[in-house]
Amino acid sequence: MFKKSKILIIISVVTLVLLTILHGKLIYNTYQLKEKLYLLNAKSEITKIYNSKEIDDLLCEIRNEVLKQSNQLVDSNYDQKTVLLNIKKKSDSINLIFNPKMESKLKERNLNFIISIDLTEFEISDTSKTIAKLIEKGKDNPIFILGRKIKANEEIKINEITWQKELKPFDPSQHYLTLKNRIVIKFNNWNMLIFRDMFFLLFSSFILYAIVIGLLYFSIFNLYKNKRLADIKTDFINNITHELKTPLTTLSITTKTLNKQLELGYISEPIETLQIIDRQNERLQKLIDQVLQNSLGFNDLKISLDDINVQSFLKHLISDFKITLNPNQTIDLTFFSDNQYLLADRFLLTTALTNILDNAAKFGSTRIDVKYDFIKNKGHYISISDNGIGIDQQDIKYVFEKFFRVSENNKHNYKGLGLGLYFAKQIVLAHQGNIKVDSKKGKGTNFTIFIP
């Protein structure tokens, strides 16, 4: 089932990526469309401005100057350099009037760009051949004439106009002037302009994407959580069947033996076998109780508070626990604070501490250290540390969860149901305290219980 979900996740992520690419392309297209619209509008407005008398007069003035200078060139009065220089001088003086006029017209129309008019070709020829190429298209850079100079990488070309005129119409020499000029513009604050126009689109896209990604993340997170839960459940079922089977097998063997012995008349009172049955029965009962207690929930845990003398309570607990240890295991109890009294449920606190001690003994330790301290205005601290197998960093956050057990290659090497620490935590929480764990794989584990 999880494999299927994995495929679904991959498909969702791939779809999201494709959708993002497509969406990006659409946004880019919209951007281009907006840009085109701006240019179209600029073009039509510029045409209107050029047709206005004031601007047209100034343009005529510059054309006349070019004509005048060209005639001088044909008559060999001036060389090319001087002609260009003279035209530039004239254009500079016209610009002083042109710029304020143009700018006020642009402002009137609410247009947010600057204009530059450049010469891109300037050629004089007679009927058969070219006489002078003052500006050659494609070879020379355009020469800025009117408006505001715009950097080459920022200019947007609006149009290019060719103008041809016969020089000295009354002279039989038949010379022609060919002039090409272009209009380029540059939008002020182009980025801001386009961003303002596309703000709604960008903003709504962003919000929608955030929602979709959030939902995807949430679904994946949930899926993994459910998988973990399912794994834990399977583990638990495997465990409990194993745990329940062992005493049952022993029980069935002993009953068979008992029957046989009775049949054969070897015994009249099967005392020893009965004891085994009794012990196994008790164990089975305990296991079932544990599972039942858990399924009933520890949430409505009722505690009855006792004023406990910590020193004698812990001493008794440890001496009882010592009996269950192997000969190679030792346990030490240290008090950093004496004569303290603790308000807690004696029975439940014993259960919580025993569960932790059980683990320490079970998970491969040879030495267990129990320490007690009281900190004024805070409360009681009991720490239990061992030098056992330790817990992997990735598992540590799960140890207090119901049914959680660290599994090695999915095979449990130590018996248990994974409920001990869950119970311990519920008990401590019911006392308004907290429990912390700290562990290093292969080195050992430390649990600290705090009760206010």
Contact positions toward ligand ATP, by CB under 6 A? 355, 359-360, 363, 386, 388-391, 399, 404-406, 416-422, 445
CA-CA-CA-CA dihedral for 158, 162, 168, 169, to nearest 10: -120
Per partner kind, with CB cut-offs from 5 to 8 A, the member of Mg ion, ligand ATP, none near residue 404 is: ligand ATP
Smallest gap from residue 16 Cβ to ligand ATP (A)? 38
Q: Pick between residue 270 and residue 390 the one whose CB is nearest to ligand ATP.
A: 390
Per partner kind, with CB cut-offs from 5 to 8 A, the member of ligand ATP, Mg ion, none near residue 363 is: ligand ATP
Smallest gap from residue 384 Cβ to ligand ATP (A)? 8
Per partner kind, with CB cut-offs from 5 to 8 A, the member of ligand ATP, Mg ion, none near residue 399 is: ligand ATP
Between the alpha carbon of residue 403 and those of residues 96, 418, 423, the distances in Å are: 88, 4, 10
Q: Pick between residue 69 and residue 446 the one whose CB is nearest to Mg ion.
A: 446
Q: Pick between residue 112 and residue 238 the one whose CB is nearest to ligand ATP.
A: 238
Exposure b/e, 273-307, CB count within 10 A at least 16 = b: beebbeebeebbeebeebbeebeeebeeeeeeeee
Smallest gap from residue 276 Cβ to ligand ATP (A)? 22
Look at strands 367-375 and 330-335 and give their pairing. Answer: parallel
Q: What angle do CA 417, 423, 425 make, to 5 degrees?
A: 125
With beta carbons less than 8 A apart as the criterion, state whether 180 and 119 touch. yes
Per partner kind, with CB cut-offs from 5 to 8 A, the member of Mg ion, ligand ATP, none near residue 345 is: none
Smallest gap from residue 405 Cβ to Mg ion (A)? 9
Sequence-ordered list of residues with C-beta below 8 angstroms from that of 292, at least 6 positions apart, any chain: none
Smallest gap from residue 445 Cβ to Mg ion (A)? 12
Instruction: Find the binder of Mg ion among 71, 91, 273, 359 (CB under 5 A).
Output: 359
Return phi, psi of residue 19, to 5°: -60, -40
Q: Pick between residue 187 and residue 404 the one whose CB is nearest to ligand ATP.
A: 404
Smallest gap from residue 343 Cβ to Mg ion (A)? 26
Q: Pick between residue 308 and residue 417 the one whose CB is nearest to ligand ATP.
A: 417
Smallest gap from residue 250 Cβ to Mg ion (A)? 22
Q: Pick between residue 177 and residue 419 the one whose CB is nearest to ligand ATP.
A: 419
Q: Pick between residue 188 and residue 393 the one whose CB is nearest to ligand ATP.
A: 393
Supply the DSSP symbol for 299. T
Question: What DSSP string describes 384-423?
Answer: EEE-SS---TTTGGGTTSTT----BTTB-SS---S-HHHH
**Range in contact with Mg ion (rule: CB under 5 A) among 27-35, 121-129, 264-272, 416-424:** 416-424
Smallest gap from residue 443 Cβ to ligand ATP (A)? 10
Smallest gap from residue 6 Cβ to ligand ATP (A)? 27
What is the sign of the dihedral through the CA atoms of 263, 269, 275 and 278? positive
Q: Pick between residue 178 and residue 294 the one whose CB is nearest to ligand ATP.
A: 294
Per partner kind, with CB cut-offs from 5 to 8 A, the member of Mg ion, ligand ATP, none near residue 405 is: ligand ATP
Q: Pick between residue 55 and residue 417 the one whose CB is nearest to ligand ATP.
A: 417
**Range in contact with Mg ion (rule: CB under 5 A) among 119-127, 263-271, 327-335, 359-367:** 359-367
Smallest gap from residue 15 Cβ to Mg ion (A)? 46
**Range in contact with Mg ion (rule: CB under 5 A) among 16-24, 268-276, 419-427, 440-448:** 419-427
Other CB atoms within 10 A of residue 218 CB: 10
Distance CA 139, CA 379 (A): 90
Alpha carbon of residue 192 to chain centroid: 28
- Terminal CA-CA length for the chain: 46
Does residue 120 interact with Mg ion by CB under 5 A?
Answer: no
With beta carbons less than 8 A apart as the criterion, state whether 436 and 345 touch. no
Q: Which residue number is nearest to Mg ion in terms of Cβ?
A: 420
Between the alpha carbon of residue 67 and those of residues 87, 163, 236, 315, the distances in Å are: 10, 11, 101, 117
Does residue 420 interact with Mg ion by CB under 5 A?
Answer: yes
Distance CA 388, CA 447 (A): 13
Question: What DSSP string describes 215-276?
Answer: HHHHHHHHHHHHHHHHHHHHHHHHHHHHHHHHHHHHHHHHHHHHHHHHHHTS-SS-HHHHHH
Residues numbered 188 to 227 that lie near Mg ion (CB under 5 A) are none
Binding-site ranges for Mg ion (CB under 5 A): 359, 420
